[in-house]
Structure 1
Amino acid sequence: MTKCYQPEIRFSSLSRRKITADFTGGDLTSDAGLLLLRECDRRLGLSHAVADVVNDPRRISSVAHQAEQLVRQRLLAIAAGYEDLNDHDQLRFDTVLQAGCQRTKTLASTATLCRFEQGQDRSVAVELHKVLLDQFIVRHSKPPRRLIL
């Protein structure tokens, strides 16, 4: 039998919610890795950098989901294997994905995500490539000896 030497793993909190991984049961999920990705995203600032370059023509006063939240929701869902937008009809209520997106309320609907994605153009795609390249360069103090694409 495998022994667990660490009784719980604590993640950064979300509002007044304490987020921990423990091995005693309770609410179970197969997507707990999203909490680790949330921590990585907070350190790297990838969702924030992507949100800075996407088109968002919506009126800010009537927006329920900020662009950064939409980007983070989509990135985390794809990382968890939910690449189709229609998955978000159910995922928007998933508490682990909500915590990963730093929200305590229901996430964006399939329709909202679809409109957001369809509002992007070729110039945004070019800018997104630049964001990824910049993220790569910043993470290396010296160029890697080999780069396999």
Structure 2
Amino acid sequence: MNFNPRVKMNFDGGDLTSDAGLLLYKEFDHKLGLSEAVEELLVVHDSVFHRDHPNSDVVLQKLYQHIAGYHTDDHADDLAVEPLLTMLLGKESLASQPTLSRFNDKADIATAKSLECVNETLQRRVYAIKPQNQFVFDLDSSSFAAYGKQHGANFNYHYQQHGFHPLFCFDGLTGDCLRAELRAGNVVKSSGLWDQF
């Protein structure tokens, strides 16, 4: 593992994890510079200050949690001292659920745009490694269920659920997500297609 030469694999017991697959993601992160891009480009105007968990660390923790299948902020409390996640993120312990929730509360449009810049930076790095002669833009919408009274969450008759109706643009050749736009739940499937992309 080039991202951390101190990491050794053995089968002698010790600190155990059920998320060893994250080692491969960390290696990918190391080669492509995901963590560095988040640290450099993340914008949170009304920053949440926590001496142990800068905003970029919180975003990376949320990202690794999602990759491992821990999709809610509540999982952070159970993962606080998970040996592999803490090692991958270089922490003694992970940020707690309240810290993640405070970050969510402070994130705004500028934060979302800065995360789009992170995605674009990574895409440029990938295309620099493996240039493409052509692109196929695959546009599609999806449904995200919402529970509560979030702004923009509405009933969608096509999906028969209350939530949002985001629009995605994928690279049809690689499957990479090039762009995403969150839309209200009651927006017609192709509405605003040309305006967004």
Supply the AA of the counterpart residue of 2:127: H
Residue 5 of structure 1 corresponds to none
TM-score, normalization by structure 2: 0.59
Task: Work out which of the residue numbers 109, 126, 148 in structure 1 matches 2:113.
Answer: 126
Residue 124 of structure 2 corresponds to 137
Q: How many residues align?
A: 134
Structure 1, unmatched stretches of 5+, are 1-8
Change in 2 beyond 3 A, CA 1:32/1:134 = same
Is structure 2 residue 77 aligned with structure 1 residue 89?
A: yes
Is structure 2 residue 10 aligned with structure 1 residue 12?
A: no
Do the aligned partners of 2:3 and 2:30 also contact (CA within 8 Å) in 1?
no
Do the aligned partners of 2:80 and 2:94 also contact (CA within 8 Å) in 1?
yes
Supply the AA of the counterpart residue of 1:64: D
Residue 42 of structure 2 corresponds to 53
Supply the AA of the counterpart residue of 1:83: H
Do the aligned partners of 2:58 and 2:95 also contact (CA within 8 Å) in 1?
yes
Structure 2, unmatched stretches of 5+, are 136-170, 176-197
Do the aligned partners of 1:49 and 1:131 also contact (CA within 8 Å) in 2?
yes
State the SS of the aligned residue for 2:116. Answer: helix
Is structure 2 residue 64 aligned with structure 1 residue 79?
A: no
Supply the AA of the counterpart residue of 1:124: T
Change in 2 beyond 3 A, CA 1:76/1:130 = same
Residue 99 of structure 1 corresponds to 87
> Structure 2 CA distance, aligned partners of 1:26 and 1:64?
26
Supply the AA of the counterpart residue of 1:53: L
Supply the AA of the counterpart residue of 2:94: L
Higher relative contact order (CA 8 A, sep 6+): 1
> Structure 1 CA distance, aligned partners of 2:117 and 2:60?
18
State the SS of the aligned residue for 2:90. Answer: coil
State the SS of the aligned residue for 1:12. Answer: coil
Backbone CA RMSD of aligned residues: 2.3
Supply the AA of the counterpart residue of 1:70: V
Deviations 1:31-51, CA, capped at 9 Å, x for gaps: 011222222222222233223
Change in 2 beyond 3 A, CA 1:99/1:143 = same
Of structures 1 and 2, the larger Rg is shown by: 2
Change in 2 beyond 3 A, CA 1:24/1:50 = same
Supply the AA of the counterpart residue of 2:9: A
> Structure 2 CA distance, aligned partners of 1:11 and 1:22?
18
> Structure 1 CA distance, aligned partners of 2:14 and 2:48?
40
Is structure 2 residue 29 aligned with structure 1 residue 41?
A: yes
